[in-house]
A and B are shown apart, each in its own frame.
Chain A
Amino acid sequence: MRAYLPDYELRAPRSLTDALALLAREPGGWRAFAGGTDLMVLLEAGLLTHRKFLSIWHLPELKGIEVANDHVTLGALTTYTEVQRDETMRREFPLLGAAARETGGIAIQNRGTLGGNIVNASPAADSPPALLVYDAELELVSTRGTRLLPYREFHTGYKQMNMQSDELLTRIRLPRTTGDLKTYYRKVGTRKAQAISKVCFAAGARMNDGRIADVRLALGSVAPTVVRCTQTEELLRNQTIDEATTKAAREMLMTEITPIDDMRSTADYRLNVAANLLADFLRQLKHT
């Protein structure tokens, strides 16, 4: 049933400072509301349990892509459309553009934000696996100060986050050390646009003298959170790519992820598709 609107509040604080002050004054009282592509769906379905929201969509402090010498900083309100258009992102962080292109359709890409995708904390989100491959860091700000947290430590369980109720995710920082990675991104869903993933696979690697010098594997929709598969990475490091390595890596990956049966797919399908995508990635890596 549709929500009864008078039960809800949406306020637009004048500045980031005002927003942080409100978050601090009533711990847990207010939550951030960005482009609305997730929250408005819940509201319309009558499933939005939280009642008080701060619209942050208009705050300039949370927008823009800045390129520094050693890192790129994305405002939390950076949309999927902006990610696809930015020249540095296209050149150095192609996995994020690939994820953005396959999220929703144009109208969703114009309103959906990276910050929202992170804080909504869906294990089926498409941009987090790319962010994990790039060793993204999150800037979390409150009236108490600013902290920088490796994104890898942010999701602590299904919809659980390393984030206090007075904190706001303001920026996402990407180290500029991955421009030479050979990358691979595949979202497997029922349809190219608008579909939620059954499995999402993002990977990057460097070869050196026929051996895997660096490899990063991140998956969505196969565990309670998006995951970096570090044991499989460890197994692959310094190996040549052959049948035995691929077989061992597939087996390790299948023990490292914990997919479930749900409305979109089955655990069995997800395990097999994830392993097949890994094999496909390794095959492409060998031939580049």
Chain B
Amino acid sequence: MSTETTSKVNVTCTVNGQSCMLTAHPLARLLDVLREQLRLTGTKEGCGEGECGACSVLVDGVLVNSCLVPVLQVAGAEIKTIEGIADGVQLHAVQQAFIETGGAQCGICTPGMVLAAVNLLAQTPQPTEADIRNGLAGNLCRCTGYMKIFDAVVRACQRADIKS
């Protein structure tokens, strides 16, 4: 171990509407801090290199791969994870649509898919099929073959109660 080791830093941010003080190494992955320190294990690790989208979260309303974000860079940010998407027991239209169309199978990609879909519909409320494919292109699913996921997004945007 080198002598120039860094100690942990305190990072204040908001997670799913609640103010949090995180204590971690500045290069710790946001993914690990969310899962291990806040026990928000809905955010999944797939590839750990920004290829699969399983760890997607929103930072200040921007979709990111939490495996590629060092915790120091979320100081003062508002973070939303899959746990913050439903309104209490009322599921978000995207979540409800995933259930109804069979858009979720093993479930590992689902939290990231839901976040990417919520992000897409916040920016493009009536997406074309090309918009949906582009909006979810960074999220890999090995079960569904994607068609039921695309169906879920279409179904979600047909409902009136969309909100991000």
- Residues on A close to B: CB < 8 A? 4-12, 33, 35-37, 40-41, 43-45, 51-53, 55, 57-58, 101, 104-108, 110-111, 192-194
Contacts and interface: CB of A to CB of B under 8 A. Distances in A.
B119 A44 contact: no
A44 B135 CA distance: 26
A36 B68 CA distance: 6
Interface residues of B, number: 35
Query: Which of B25, B28, B62, B137 counts the most A-chain CB atoms under 10 A from its CB?
Result: B137
Given A9-B6, A10-B70, A41-B50, A194 B27 contact: no
A51 to B, nearest CB: 7
Given A40-B29, A193-B138, A194-B137, A108 B50 contact: yes
Contacts of B73: 12, 36, 55, 57-58
B1 A36 contact: no
A138 to B, nearest CB: 24
B67 interface: yes
Contacts of B53: 105, 107
Instruction: Give the top 9 A-B pairs by smallest Cβ distance, nearest first.
Output: A105-B138, A193-B137, A10-B26, A6-B5, A40-B68, A5-B25, A41-B49, A105-B137, A9-B6
Given A40-B50, A107-B63, A7 B26 contact: no
Contact of B65 (A9, A53, A108): A108
Chain A facing B: main interface SS? mixed
Interface string B54-82: 00100000111101111011010000000
Nearest to B73: A57
Given A8-B6, A106-B135, A37 B63 contact: no
8 contacts: A4-B1, A9-B4, A40-B70, A51-B4, A107-B63, A107-B65, A110-B63, A194-B51
B13 to A, nearest CB: 13
A44 B67 contact: yes
A110 B120 CA distance: 13
Interface of B: 1-2, 4-6, 25-29, 48-51, 53, 56, 62-65, 67-70, 72-73, 75, 116, 119-120, 134-135, 137-139
A52 to B, nearest CB: 8
Nearest to A57: B73
Contact of A6 (B25, B69, B139): B25
Contacts of A7: 1-2, 5
A12 B75 contact: yes
B2 A51 contact: yes
A106 B137 contact: yes
B8 to A, nearest CB: 9
A239 B27 CA distance: 55
Contacts of B63: 106-107, 110
Nearest to B137: A193
A106 B116 CA distance: 8
Contacts of B116: 106-107
B139 to A, nearest CB: 7
B159 to A, nearest CB: 22
B137 to A, nearest CB: 3
A111 B4 CA distance: 29
Contacts of A105: 53, 137-139
A192 B138 CA distance: 10
Query: Which of B27, B28, B64 counts the most A-chain CB atoms under 10 A from its CB?
Result: B27
A8 B70 CA distance: 12
B138 A106 contact: yes
Contacts of B139: 105
Contacts of A12: 26, 72-73, 75
Given A106-B116, A194-B51, 20 more contacts: A4-B1, A8-B6, A9-B6, A10-B6, A10-B70, A36-B68, A36-B69, A40-B29, A44-B49, A53-B27, A104-B138, A105-B53, A105-B139, A106-B63, A106-B120, A107-B50, A107-B56, A107-B138, A111-B64, A193-B137
Given A5-B28, A11-B26, A55-B70, A108 B6 contact: no
